Amino acid sequence: MPAHDPLIGHWFKRPGGAWFEVVAIDEDAGTVGIQQFDGTIDQIDVEVWPKLSVVEVAAPEDWLGSVDMDPEDYTGDGEGEVPSGYFNPLDFLDQE
C-alpha cells in the first residue's frame, strides 16, 4: 500500500488502531508533529513516515478527545470570566 504524505490537518490511523492528526511539519528538522486522539503530542521522523503504513481517515465525529477539556471547562464562572485553558485562536495570528 502506498504511503500517504503527511498533511497538516489530516487524520490518519495506524495499523494497530491509534488515530492521530498531523499538526505540524518541520522540514528543517525533518519531523512531522502529530497529536493523538487523546491529546498526546509526538513527533515522527520524515524518514520513518512511509514505514508506518498509515491510512488516511476522516476526522472523528467526537473530536473532543483530542481537546482534553471537559464540557464544564467551557462554561467559565458565568460572570464573563474566560475558562482556564481557553485561548482565542485569533490571538495567534500575525496582525499588522
pLDDT tens per residue across span 54-89: 999 988 876 555 555 555 554 555 555 655 556 666
Question: For 27-49, what is each residue's pLDDT tens digit?
Answer: 999 999 999 888 889 999 999 99
In a domain, 90, yes or no: no
**From CA 6, how far away is CA 80, in angstroms rounded?**
40
Number of domains the chain is built from: 1
Structural domain range at position 52: 1-59
* Measured distance CA(46)–CA(26) in Å, rounded: 9
In the sheet that holds 55-57, the strands lie side by side as 41-45, 31-36, 19-26, 11-13, 55-57
Looking at residue 30, its amino acid is G
Q: How confident is the model at residue 95 (pLDDT cuts 50, 70, 90)?
A: low
pTM of full prediction above 0.75? no
Is 76 among the domain residues? no
How does DSSP classify residue 93?
S
Is residue 74 a part of any domain in this protein? no
CATH of the domain at 4: 2.30.30
| Vertex 8 angle, CA 1 and 19, to 5° | 60
85 located within any domain: no
